[in-house]
Amino acid sequence: MKNLKKILAGSLFVGACLFMSNAAYAQKPAGKPWPATDAAVKKANPIKSDAGSIKEGKDLYAQHCKSCHGAKGKGDGSKAEKIDISCGDFTGPEIAKMTDGELFWKTTEGRKPMPSYKEKLSDSERWKVINYIRSL
């Protein structure tokens, strides 16, 4: 009987630890505030958001962003697990409040561990990725 109690207590403890480590993963801390410049915030998106630009943006996103930001923009890509801060949630209210210009500027500049896309993608490619993010 004593042994049974020990086994039960032990498995409860292991269960609680697993539960807590999952919860910690789901709630990684956000990075430090990352304000864009005024000029960046005001910059208008020159690429019309239509089926064509969203489709191109989706392909570029799959190639360059999905590994961290996740298939649905929830910040749960395969690489996100190894990053200590949150990659953010593209479908959440914080991103909804940001202008296209602000998202474009952050994508252009990057901030470690997020890479810069200044050289990797052209201006129009980055705007198309923003159109796709807006469609999520």
Question: How far, in Å, are 39, 44, 80, 103 from residue 94 at the CA level?
Answer: 19, 19, 19, 11
Query: SS3 for 114?
Result: strand
Question: How far, in Å, are 76, 93, 97, 113 from residue 79 at the CA level?
Answer: 8, 23, 26, 11
- Residue number of the CB closest to ligand HEC reads 31
**Residue 10 vs 59, nearer CB to ligand HEC:** 59
Type of residue numbered 66? K
Burial class (CB in 10 A: 0-12, 13-18, 19+), 117: buried
Distance in angstroms (rounded) separating the CA atoms of residues 13 and 102: 45
- CB of residue 15 to ligand HEC, shortest distance in Å: 30
Residue 127 in the binding site for ligand HEC (CB under 6 A): no
**Residue 5 vs 82, nearer CB to ligand HEC:** 82
Residue 114 in the binding site for ligand HEC (CB under 6 A): yes
Residue 129 in the binding site for ligand HEC (CB under 6 A): yes
Q: Which of 7-15, 18-26, 47-55, 67-75 is the region at the interface with ligand HEC (rule: CB under 6 A)?
A: 67-75
Q: Rule CB under 6 A: which of 20-39 touch ligand HEC?
A: 31, 34
Which residues would be at the binding site for ligand HEC (CB under 6 A)? 31, 34, 64-65, 67-69, 79, 83, 85, 87-88, 94-95, 103, 106-107, 111, 113-115, 117, 129
